[in-house]
Chain A
Amino acid sequence: MDWTREALVKVVFEILRDELLTVDESFTPSSNLVATGLDSLAVTQLMLTIEEKTGVWVDESLLTPEMLESCESLADCVHEQLAGS
């Protein structure tokens, strides 16, 4: 499957909203993830779920605080990894 950036944003958003975070309707793809309480365990669980869906493992050590600012910035990072794989 060809993963577009938009599709990845949707996947990241849905995993976080439905499985990893306890958030209300105000949570959007632009919401700050650190402010919602995203921690290292949740990030690793997110990366594992993304790997299940896309087949690409995003090495956690490549992540920076900027990449975790929102679902969109995180999806950008995954998209770059997919493009390079």
Chain B
Amino acid sequence: MSSSRGPELIPLTGADAFLRAFDDEIRRCNRANHISQLVLRLGPGFDVGSLRKILREITPANPILSAPVRRRFGLGPPAYRIDKAGRGVPPRLQVHDAQSPERSGPGVPPLFFERLNERHSIRRGDLLRLDAVRYSGGTRGTDLALSWAHMLLDGSGSEEFVRFLDACARGERRPDSLSRAQSLGPAAQSGRGGPVLSLRQRGDLAREWQTHMEGFAAHPLRSLSGPRRRVRQALRYHVLTLDPAQTEHVVKRAVDQAGFLTPMLFYMAATIRAHYAVFQARGVDPGSFVVPLPVSVRPKGAEGEIFRTQVSLLWFQVLPRQADDFQGLLEALKEQRLASIKAGFVESGIHAMDFARYAPKRVYAYVARRSLRGELCSFFFAYTADFLPGLEHFLGAPIENAFHVPPVPPSPGSSTALSLRGGRLNVTHVYQEGVFNAAEHHIFRDQLRTDLLGE
């Protein structure tokens, strides 16, 4: 928070600190960073000059965009050092010419993979960069990637940032009109009102959450990559885009089977079974599947802060025999979701992550993996529903497709995100090279399509 006597600090949220701990692990063990990405596939008319101008204008009003993240004197929660931000230095925006004049189907420019595997200096405020790849062929399209230190923006925030940039270009918003970043305590992040809790009450909630997490050790998991992989990070991704007819069919199946409020459980069940199919092909017992589901705890009904991660995690665990039957698996996930929300794990998880901010990064990552014998989870999963609904153009160019690319540490080495854009379902599978061989990629995608489409 701003102070007249001390440096201006904005403490990381609990979720920010969680991501920072794994950023540190990836930096130390895998020579990269925990970089998230959003891709817009644009048609003709993209005004890169306008984007450059807006980025220049919003940076002074939002210095968090280039603020170093440090723990002051090694004490307290890590924080954005706003007083040390590179004032007026906008995020890097580079324009590249594509190697081929036209897009090659659904494939993205290889440069976008490289961005996931590069080093950013978070301690120096190197948090966000943009790359525009232009195609010179008849379509004159552009692929735009925003790549950022994962803690800066969550999925919802990244979409709001894109919407804000476009609104600035059209003169509907002023570059300095975002609510200024400030300290967000656990009460502000819990998504619920109610009485302010004492330190002891918060501690009790955090312990409940820790006990819940340690309970997963009763059925240890094995990820496809194995625990604590110390290899150079080499993430790539594959985007499966279903056509509108297929998407309509899948969305209807998801709503019919999981309910219109919780289609994400349908997609999670399909993703668990896709991973299970690879285990079965290898003849390896996964032990169990432990999967976190990010849930947004952003304020509902008002524009919240964009440049912070405001999520909690609901954790699921199922045994391989439960994954044999899709319907049975789906019912188990429904029951676990309801039980977890009823037990207050959304809120207690926030308190636990809030306390954990004070832990040194190495200790944090070690403790997070300890109870699962070095594993963090079976894979990462996210479902973010409609991508930028209502926004048809971005800086003058039609948005032909758009999707998230959630990063993943080399262990567990596999992450799947689903979202809808323009009536088409996008499934982004991010993986560490070497975790899946060519045959296993086919097995994974075939099983996923089979369960999504009910073929």
Is B281 in contact with chain A by the CB < 8 A criterion?
no
The answer on a CB contact under 8 Å between B300 and A65 is no
- In chain A between 25 and 66, which residues have their CB closer than 8 angstroms to a CB of chain B? 27, 36-45, 48, 60-61, 63-65
Q: A22-B302, A41-B341 are in contact. List 16 more A-B contacts (CB 8 A).
A: A20-B191, A20-B193, A22-B299, A22-B300, A22-B304, A37-B301, A39-B296, A40-B261, A40-B262, A41-B346, A44-B338, A45-B192, A45-B341, A60-B259, A63-B259, A63-B260
The A interface is mostly helix, strand or loop, or mixed, namely helix
Name the B residues within 8 Å of A7 (CB-CB): none
Write the B339-354 contact mask toward A (1 if CB under 8 angstroms, else 0).
0011000100000000
Name the A residues within 8 Å of B260 (CB-CB): 63-65
Least distance between B370 CB and chain A CB atoms (Å)? 28
The answer on a CB contact under 8 Å between A21 and B300 is yes
Least distance between B154 CB and chain A CB atoms (Å)? 14
CB-contact partner of A41 in B296, B301, B302, B304, under 8 A: B296
The answer on a CB contact under 8 Å between A48 and B341 is yes
CB-contact partner of B194 in A19, A39, A42, A61, under 8 A: A19
| Nearest-neighbor residue (CB-CB) of A31 within chain B | B301
Write the B193-204 contact mask toward A (1 if CB under 8 angstroms, else 0).
110000000000
Name the A residues within 8 Å of B295 (CB-CB): 41
Q: Contacts A63-B261, A65-B260: A41 and B191 contacting too (C-beta < 8 A)? A: yes
Least distance between B347 CB and chain A CB atoms (Å)? 9
The answer on a CB contact under 8 Å between A19 and B193 is yes
Q: List 19 A-B contacts (CB under 8 A).
A: A18-B193, A20-B192, A20-B300, A21-B301, A22-B302, A23-B301, A23-B302, A36-B301, A39-B296, A40-B262, A41-B191, A41-B341, A42-B300, A44-B338, A44-B341, A45-B191, A45-B192, A63-B259, A64-B260
User: How far is it, in angstroms, between the C-alpha of A36 and the C-alpha of B337 when the chains are bound?
Assistant: 23
The answer on a CB contact under 8 Å between A39 and B300 is yes
Binding site for B on A (CB under 8 A): 18-23, 27, 36-45, 48, 60-61, 63-65
User: How far is it, in angstroms, between the C-alpha of A67 and the C-alpha of B261 when the chains are bound?
Assistant: 12
Name the B residues within 8 Å of A61 (CB-CB): 259
User: How far is it, in angstroms, between the C-alpha of A21 and the C-alpha of B295 when the chains are bound?
Assistant: 15
Q: Contacts A18-B193, A19-B194: A43 and B261 contacting too (C-beta < 8 A)? A: yes
User: How far is it, in angstroms, between the C-alpha of A42 and the C-alpha of B302 when the chains are bound?
Assistant: 14
The answer on a CB contact under 8 Å between B191 and A42 is yes
- In chain B between 303 and 330, which residues have their CB closer than 8 angstroms to a CB of chain A? 304
The B interface is mostly helix, strand or loop, or mixed, namely loop
Name the A residues within 8 Å of B261 (CB-CB): 40, 43-44, 60, 63
User: How far is it, in angstroms, between the C-alpha of A41 and the C-alpha of B338 when the chains are bound?
Assistant: 10
Name the A residues within 8 Å of B296 (CB-CB): 39, 41
User: How far is it, in angstroms, between the C-alpha of A79 and the C-alpha of B194 when the chains are bound?
Assistant: 25
| Nearest-neighbor residue (CB-CB) of A65 within chain B | B260
Name the A residues within 8 Å of B194 (CB-CB): 19
User: How far is it, in angstroms, between the C-alpha of A45 and the C-alpha of B347 when the chains are bound?
Assistant: 11
- In chain B between 216 and 269, which residues have their CB closer than 8 angstroms to a CB of chain A? 259-262, 264
Residue of B260, B261, B302, B304 with highest tally of chain A CB at under 10 A: B261
| Nearest-neighbor residue (CB-CB) of A18 within chain B | B193
| Nearest-neighbor residue (CB-CB) of B296 within chain A | A39
Name the B residues within 8 Å of A48 (CB-CB): 341-342
Name the A residues within 8 Å of B191 (CB-CB): 20, 41-42, 45
Least distance between A39 CB and chain B CB atoms (Å)? 7
User: How far is it, in angstroms, between the C-alpha of A18 and the C-alpha of B304 when the chains are bound?
Assistant: 17
Residue of B191, B296, B300 with highest tally of chain A CB at under 10 A: B300
User: How far is it, in angstroms, between the C-alpha of A64 and the C-alpha of B256 when the chains are bound?
Assistant: 11
Least distance between A6 CB and chain B CB atoms (Å)? 23
Least distance between A73 CB and chain B CB atoms (Å)? 15
Name the B residues within 8 Å of A42 (CB-CB): 191, 300
Least distance between A18 CB and chain B CB atoms (Å)? 5
User: How far is it, in angstroms, between the C-alpha of A48 and the C-alpha of B343 when the chains are bound?
Assistant: 10
| Nearest-neighbor residue (CB-CB) of B258 within chain A | A61
The answer on a CB contact under 8 Å between B262 and A19 is no
User: How far is it, in angstroms, between the C-alpha of A25 and the C-alpha of B301 when the chains are bound?
Assistant: 12
| Nearest-neighbor residue (CB-CB) of B302 within chain A | A22
Name the B residues within 8 Å of A20 (CB-CB): 191-193, 300
